[in-house]
Amino acid sequence: MLSTSRRVTVSLPNRPYDVVIGAGILEQVGPLLRELGLSRPVAVVTDERVERLYGDKLIGALTAAGFSASLHIVVGGEPAKSFATAEEVCESLARSGVDRSSLVLALGGGVIGDLAGFVASIFARGIPYVQVPTTVMAQVDSSVGGKTAINLNAGKNLVGSFHQPALVVVDTDTLNTLGARERNEGFAEIIKYGVIADPSLLKDIRDAPEPRLIGIIERCVQIKAQIVAADEREESGKRALLNFGHTIGHAIESAAGYGKLLHGEAISLGMRAAGWLSTKYAGLPSEDHQRLIHLLNELSLPVVLPEEITTAGVMERVFTDKKFHRGQIRFVLTSKFGSAFVSEKITRADLESAVESLRESIV
């Protein structure tokens, strides 16, 4: 184990894997792969911006560790989560000689992780993959848990698979090249973990120094690892708690047009709406709801729905969400920060009112 790194194990039956977290550990990806016995050719999937920043560094490190590595670059952004881009990556892998003896490495944010993981799940009927997330959003959430997906016009993440990574390597130094907007959107997921599991995460996260940020990332990963290990495929309902703010958030993201709002920005709005419903139906104190709104606002995350996004457009997409079962609304609420539960008592009218509540200015 790297002396400066921390490890969290996702304890799945028969296929546990580690999330290794530390500063400046990108160049250790090769040794970490060898430690796992993954001495395979590596197909690195990334986007143009991340390739410029870290492509040569990672390929050089893999080559130095004795790996054969190829690079597969896509245009970044949420629109990349499409059948067209998945096909493009598969064709690129095939042209490079990638086969069942290879592995895919996702280098980038949540979009690349979802896309590359999905491709790995279907290429050659499924090959291993590794996550190397480079954004706050991906490091605290999307790189862990094995959900891979692409989008449809009808809704977000409607085509995908459960395909767990063999390893996740979180180098927090990669966050230094994020713009403010990209960095802030990741804090939406940290706030989610604070609401559903650990209220201490809601304290002092805005200007967290690097050592504390590593600890925050580790804590979020620990929470997700425990939930995923208990309910990998959302069969018991426990994993559904990770969807706090996501039912309405995903619908807003889709209604806005993919790429108009960053994922965390849409989830910020979704959490305000979920908090509003929680005050009405779960007993969440109104002062806690206001605290949530102001924390999101302080992190430069949107809390008021843009006028051009219609309630009808959001509602149309809400009911294509995967979190519905045979049309039954299953909505995550919180009665107090640090816990959450799935309610089946929320109606369509309630959801519509929650979306409308997002048009109210904050005090």
Catalytic residue among 185, 234, 253, 265: 234
Q: Are 197 and 223 in contact (CB under 8 A)?
A: yes
Give the helix, strand, coil percentages of the chain, each rounded to 5.
Answer: 50, 15, 35
Q: Residue 303: which of 232, 238, 249, 227 has the closest Cα? A: 249
Active-site residue, from 189, 218, 232, 253 = 189
Is position 224 annotated as part of the catalytic site?
yes
Q: Where are the alpha helices (DSSP H) in the chain?
A: 29-35, 48-50, 56-64, 83-95, 110-122, 136-137, 180-196, 210-230, 246-256, 263-281, 286-298, 311-318, 348-357
Question: Of 156, 263, 272, 289, which residue is the catalytic one?
Answer: 263
State the angle between helix axes of 246-256 and 348-357 in degrees (0 to 180), rounded to the nearest 10: 70
Catalytic residue, chosen from 81, 147, 192, 219, is: 147
CA distance 83 to 70: 22
Considering Cα of 184, then 174, then 252, then 348, what sign does the dihedral take?
A: negative
Burial, 87: exposed, middle or buried (Cβ in 10 Å; 0-12, 13-18, 19+)? exposed
Catalytic residue of the set 156, 239, 272, 289: 239
Our answer to whether residue 289 is catalytic in this structure is no
Q: What is the DSSP letter of 261?
A: B
Active site annotation includes 163: no
Say whether 15 is catalytic: no
Nearest to 10 by CA among 255, 223, 290: 223
Helix axis angle, 286-298 to 263-281, nearest 10°: 170
CA atoms within 13 A on the CB side of 89: 34
Given 192, 224, 272, 289, the catalytic residue: 224
Helix (H, G, I), strand (E, B) or coil at 169: strand
Q: Which is catalytic among the residues 72, 219, 246, 272?
A: 246
145, 228 in Cβ contact below 8 A? yes
147 is annotated as an active-site residue = yes
- Does the annotation count 72 as an active-site position? no
HSE-up of 344 (CA within 13 Å, CB side)? 6
- 95 counts as catalytic: no
CA distance 60 to 58: 5
Residue 176: active-site member: no
Torsion angle of alpha carbons 287, 291, 294, 298, nearest 10°? Answer: 160
φ, ψ of residue 150 to 5 degrees: the values are: -125, 165
- Catalytic residue of the set 232, 243, 253, 265: 243
Q: Is 323 a catalytic residue?
A: no
Active site residue 246: yes
Query: Hey, which residues are catalytic here?
Result: 125, 147, 189, 224, 234, 239, 243, 246, 250, 263
